Amino acid sequence: MTGVPPMRRAIGGGTMLAGVIGWPVSHSRSPLLHNFWLARYGIDGAYVPLPVRPGLFDVAVRGLQAAGFRGANVTIPHKEAAFAIADHLHRSAVRSGSVNTLVFAGDGRIEAHSTDGDGFVANLEAHGVDVTRGPALVLGAGGAARAIVASLTDRGIAVSIANRTRARAEDLAHALASPETRIAVTDWDRWTDGLPDHALLVNTTSLGMHGGPDDVFAPDLARAPAGMVVADIVYVPRMTPLLRAAAARGLPVVDGTGMLLHQARLGFREWFGVDPAVDADIQALLDADLAG
């Protein structure tokens, strides 16, 4: 593969350290992405998987801090513990109700961010989508949905949410309600009726995911207006049945791999001091890993 720098570098006393805390954590693509960027920018740093059992999160985080780590990403099952341990929750964490990135500040404080929502929006922008153009129809009301709805509404976009469990969609709308936000809840059984009123459709459910609850999820998009952007955050497979159905109708599509790449940028910038580029090389690296 062209343009991909060597992945192994010497580790020494000055090496800056970060990692991803989860249980299990071996499936995480974060080490692949961060170590690629470290090599690309010639940074003396390393990013490691940190398998931490449930119940040991706090002791692990305090230990990493004491050992001089710059911070960490946090994944299942520790996202609630990460929320609780933070000394300062940034707006993204408060709005999305979750934390996936911890930054250990020089004064000993733990700063917490959620980067999924802004990563989603940054990826849309990278695909040339005018994100100020709404309204958006969001399928799902889980953790990822909340982060995405928060980021969309923060940009003034009106959002309709359709979720199998309607009460969960209503809870999400309630949690994010403010005088500035416009969030409606729509019936899961009839969400395709609302397609003509929307410019962006986002699947945040696990439908369409390989090995998920329904990996052939391909709703009827006959009512989608011309030019509607269809985005899926499921990234295995990269082209989900929903995206294939949209592409077959000539609609622009945005797959879930770009969100995965963009959500990693904030942590890298905070820990290692460079805003890393999401370019064709790192996309190819991720694609090859997902295919393998």
Ligand X SMILES: NC(=O)c1ccc[n+]([C@@H]2O[C@H](COP(=O)([O-])OP(=O)(O)OC[C@H]3O[C@@H](n4cnc5c(N)ncnc54)[C@H](OP(=O)(O)O)[C@@H]3O)[C@@H](O)[C@H]2O)c1
Q: Does 145 bind ligand X (CB under 6 A)?
A: yes
205 assigned to a ligand binding site: no
Closest approach of ligand X to the CB of residue 217, in Å: 8
d(CA 32, CA 44): 16
Task: Return the HEC string of 149-190.
Answer: HHHHHHCCCCEEEECCCHHHHHHHHHHHCCCCCCEEEECHHH
Which stretch, 53-61, 176-184, 198-206, 222-230, contacts ligand X (CB under 6 A)? 198-206
Give the residue, chosen from 18, 199, 259, 285, that forms a contact with ligand X under the rule CB under 6 A. 259
If binding is defined by CB under 6 A, does position 140 make contact with ligand X? yes
How many residues does this entry show for the chain?
292
Among residues 71, 97, 241, 256, which is the contact residue for ligand X, using CB under 6 A? 256
Stretch that binds ligand X, among 32-40, 87-95, 203-211, 237-245 (CB under 6 A): 203-211
Structure tokens belonging to residue 86: 């933070």
Is 123 known to sit in a ligand binding site? no
Q: Counting contacts by CB under 6 A, is residue 22 touching ligand X?
A: no
- Considering only residues 261 to 290 of the shown chain, the ones binding ligand X according to CB under 6 A are 263
- The verdict on whether residue 98 carries a ligand-binding annotation is no
Q: Is 127 in the site for ligand X (CB under 6 A)?
A: no
163 sits near ligand X (criterion: CB under 6 A) = yes
Residue 98 touches ligand X, criterion: CB under 6 A = no
Binding-site size, ligand X (CB under 6 A):
25
Active site residue 267: no
165 within 8 A of 141, measured Cβ to Cβ: yes
Q: Closest Cα partner for 137 from 47, 223, 261?
A: 223
The neighbour count for residue 63, using CB atoms within 10 Å, is 13
Candidate list 34, 70, 78, 79, residue with the active-site label: 79
| Residue 30 annotated as part of some ligand binding site | yes
| Residues with a known catalytic role | 79
Binding residues: 28-30, 75, 100, 116, 140-144, 163-168, 233, 235, 256, 263
Could you list the residues that contact ligand X (CB under 6 A)? 116, 140-145, 163-165, 168, 204-207, 209, 213-214, 233-235, 256, 259-260, 263
